[in-house]
Chains A and B, each alone.
Chain A
Amino acid sequence: MVYFAKWKVVLILAIVGLGFLFAAPNLFDEKATNDFPGFFPHKQVNLGLDLRGGSHLLLEVKVEAVVRERLNSLVDGVRIALRREKIRYKRLGNRGRSVFVTILQADKVDLAKSLLADIEKGFDVTVDGSRVSVRPNKEGLREIRDAAVAQSIEIVRRRIDETGTKEPTIQRQGEDRILLQLPGVDDPERVKRLLGRTAKMTFHLLDLDGSIEEAMEGRVPPGSLLLPSIDNNRGGNKDQPRHYLVLKRVAVGGDHLVDSQPSFDNRTNEPVVSFRFDTAGGKRFADVTRKNVNKPFAIVLDNKVVSAPVIREPILGGSGQISGGFTTEEANDLALLLRAGALPAPLVILEERTVGPGLGADSIAAGKVASIIGLVFVVVFMVIVYGLFGIFADIALIVNMVLIVSVLSALQATLTLPGIAGIVLTIGMAVDANVLVFERIREEVRAGRTPISAIDAGYSRAISTIIDANLTTLIAAVILFQFGSGPIKGFAVTLMIGIITSMFTAIMLTRLLVAGWIRRSRPTKVPI
């Protein structure tokens, strides 16, 4: 025990040195670390949202809506396919997750089956007598889901980028969820408002033949849609009609939009959103407006009519503007949403955790004070109880703190408020290994051993107990890491790192210190 192989001494000192090196950047301003020479580590501890302030949002993609949409288009596909082959059918429609159709010509059921199987991949076709049903199979559903989630993430990213949030984290979680971490966002209401809308915009002609009154009573003409005005939500303008009857057929789709910007109307000076179509969209828009001069058309956003202006003249340039009695902020948001594109499905916020910068800063300050005071208490206490050996243990404890910080920085693990609690807890428990050794040494001295042999026996006998005791806590920490979420994971991380570094400092570092002391002073008595 007194003798340490040279390579071991070098290794221990090297680890301690590296610890100091990797912990060092945390002493500097974040900007200053950029000026460090390349070989020097410049990563700082990565603070969690509960410490730096920010918003954590867990979103769910309503995949069911996409599936429904796909089934609706499948109904159209089935109709076209059957008509082309002149197969007579009845009762075509979708219910639940299936599209059903009854084939009237018994000899054509098989033909119908193979036709329907070819329409889309990922769907299973089953036949029951004359009734044919098509439903998405497992792979089909998964494909729909994966595509919807991937596209949603892309759109969410674009919308968040537009708000100017720095370093957002957007990642898929589980099957149909998106985890959003927005550092520095302390009022996420705008973000939530932006994410709460699918922003699907379409242009429709109005159904001028149908009667709104009849439609309101439930008799909507086939091929038309009864849509509410967006004003209904705002409780706004009483003069505006509250509902519109529009043609189902989309005149121009929002997917043709290439740009949209908030601006002000030249004449009325009210906030408007101006937009521009791509070439194909512009052409269609020109066609539609040319053929329908002096007729109204509806701009529909998420199944609500934003406005229904009358076409005064053909719009040939492929651009236009939407006025809907917006406030400046609404115009800004709508322009942003149209620029970023429509979500394939609605998003629902499952969980929100937002911490303002004030509380985050307070938590850091409180955590710092609690750690330092806790450390001072334990350091003083150890010296009072174990004297010189207490100082050895204290050196190890402080090195332990440095090592925890360096590992956190190097691994870029996230430090959360419970993580700070884990560090404070480690301060208290890290000395346990040394306490075990020192108490053992005291016993061996009392049993009449010489100093060196007592110290030797103290270390060798305590070691299996130290490992036993630490492994049980490590088990709890690992399981906590596995099952914990967010900040709690941060606690598990610091606890795990703390256990490992404290075993290193207690078993290796203090032992090295004690051995050095023995070699220098050749003690005749153990001052413990």
Chain B
Amino acid sequence: MKTLNLVPIKPNLTFIGKQKFFFIISVLFLVVSIGSLLTRSLNYGIDFQGGIMIEIRTTQTGNLAQMRNLLSDLKLGEISLQEFGEPTDFLIRIQKQDGGEEAQQKAVEKVKASLPPDVEYRRTEFVGPKVSDELFRDGVLAVIFAIIGILAYIWFRFEWQFGLGAIIALCHDVLTTVGIFSLIGLEFNLSTVAAILTIAGYSINDTVVVYDRVRENLRKYKSMPLTELLNNSINETLSRTVMTSLTTLLALGSLYILGGEVIRGFSFGMIWGVLVGTYSSVCLAVPLLLYLNVDRGTGTDDAKIS
């Protein structure tokens, strides 16, 4: 059986040497992300902001303008109405009402009473102010603890230079993912946090594989210049990096296209994260080692290579 080499057997691409170019791109990414976060903030879903979300299916192609009038007559503050997947499906989002949990329930009843009786309620979600505050706090804590947990593992498993490089790459991936959500105004909710944590895991996973090879080569070739050694390490693992990213993207692409409207934001975040995570482990994490004063050692300690 003939097999396929996705990447030429000895790619010998120059990654190290172009690192300034990569750094500029990454810094640009980060500046845009942070700038967007500061100026546009995030389009928080009801999970983190409180409020009401109702997904309905109408019997015929709904009249968007008519429905919009109907809803704005209720005077419930900001209401957004959008088509959701199918021309008969609509998503109604209502801002958090003043006056605690009871007021939110009243608003749900009002909306349901104003819509025609033959409407199918596919989803009704309501998050009160108390719960949304807690979910927000838990979300932030989860991201922080995940980063600390991964940091602890890396610190235990690698020398500090590698740990620092991996964490910079990780933060880069997390920040740019949050940034893209801010930039294109995609809804940021609980499943986005799940996507971000998974991206954090994936990003480190990818970085660890390349770093493992760097470490192995550092022990094998004591006199090879660091630039060449790092470049070789990237090239040796490049086919694996590309292969795993591709299979993951194949699965995620299938989820994005076929998995339904509810989960599309999640799949989008994951696809973006895999792309950025792959880029950052190759073009950011490894070149960073050049500046982190990697310990070349002098001994013949090969015991840790397995």
Contacts and interface: CB of A to CB of B under 8 A. Distances in A.
B155 to A, nearest CB: 12
Contacts of B3: 384-387, 390, 527-528
Interface in B158-194: 190-191, 193-194
Interface in B95-139: 100-102, 105, 108-109, 112, 120-128, 130-131, 135, 138-139
Interface in A443-487: 443, 446, 460-461, 463-465, 468-480, 482-485, 487
A473 B201 contact: yes
- What is the interface residue range for chain A against chain B? 35 or more
A352 B209 contact: no
A356 B254 contact: no
B53 to A, nearest CB: 9
Nearest to A376: B254
Interface in B1-31: 1-6, 9
Given A381-B247, A385-B3, A468-B212, A483 B145 contact: yes
Nearest to A367: B259
B306 A425 contact: no
Contact of B212 (A60, A446, A464): A464
Contact of A470 (B154, B205, B248, B270): B205
Interface string B206-246: 10110011000000000000000000000011011001101
B249 interface: yes
B240 A435 contact: yes
Interface centre among B154, B239, B243 (most CB of A within 10 A): B243
A460 to B, nearest CB: 7
B150 A472 contact: yes
Interface residues of B, number: 82
B259 A366 contact: yes
Contacts, number: 245
A382 to B, nearest CB: 7
A479 B259 contact: no
Residue of B141, B251, B262 with most partner-chain A CB within 10 A = B251
Interface in B65-119: 100-102, 105, 108-109, 112
Given A354-B125, A469-B208, A469-B209, A349 B4 contact: no
A420 B243 CA distance: 23
Contacts of B100: 348
B258 A443 contact: no
B146 to A, nearest CB: 4
A353 interface: yes
A476 B128 contact: no
A471 to B, nearest CB: 6
Given A58-B131, A348-B101, A385-B6, A428 B251 contact: yes
A435 B139 CA distance: 33
Interface string B29-60: 00000000000000000000000000101000
Interface stretch (A96-104, A184-192, A314-322): A184-192
Interface stretch (A154-162, A198-206, A357-365): A357-365
A446 B102 CA distance: 70
Given A355-B123, A468-B157, A483 B138 contact: yes
Contacts of A189: 109, 112
A476 B170 CA distance: 12
Interface of chain A, main secondary structure: helix
Given A475-B201, A483-B141, A351 B251 contact: no
A417 interface: yes
Nearest to A475: B149
A370 B236 CA distance: 33
A483 B135 CA distance: 9
Nearest to B198: A476
Given A186-B121, A377-B251, A472 B205 contact: yes
B200 A476 contact: yes
Nearest to B56: A356
Given A387-B1, A472-B204, A429 B131 contact: no
Contacts of A492: 194
A417 B129 CA distance: 25
A424 interface: yes
B131 A350 contact: yes
A355 B9 CA distance: 51
A127 interface: no
A424 B198 contact: no
B10 to A, nearest CB: 9
A427 interface: yes
Contacts of B299: none
Nearest to A499: B201
A418 interface: yes
A202 B103 CA distance: 28
A356 B9 CA distance: 53
A384 B4 CA distance: 6
A378 B251 contact: yes
A479 B146 contact: yes
B153 A471 contact: yes
A421 interface: yes
Contacts of A443: 236
A427 B249 CA distance: 10
27 contacts: A349-B105, A351-B126, A353-B123, A353-B124, A353-B125, A355-B122, A356-B123, A362-B260, A373-B258, A374-B253, A374-B255, A378-B247, A381-B250, A385-B4, A388-B1, A429-B244, A435-B240, A439-B237, A468-B208, A474-B201, A476-B197, A477-B201, A479-B145, A480-B198, A483-B141, A484-B194, A527-B3
Interface of B: 1-6, 9, 55, 57, 100-102, 105, 108-109, 112, 120-128, 130-131, 135, 138-139, 141-142, 145-146, 149-150, 153-154, 157, 190-191, 193-194, 197-198, 200-202, 204-206, 208-209, 212-213, 236-237, 239-240, 243-244, 246-255, 257-260, 262-263, 266-267, 270, 305-306
Given A418-B266, A475-B150, 7 more contacts: A351-B126, A363-B260, A378-B250, A421-B267, A424-B251, A439-B243, A472-B204
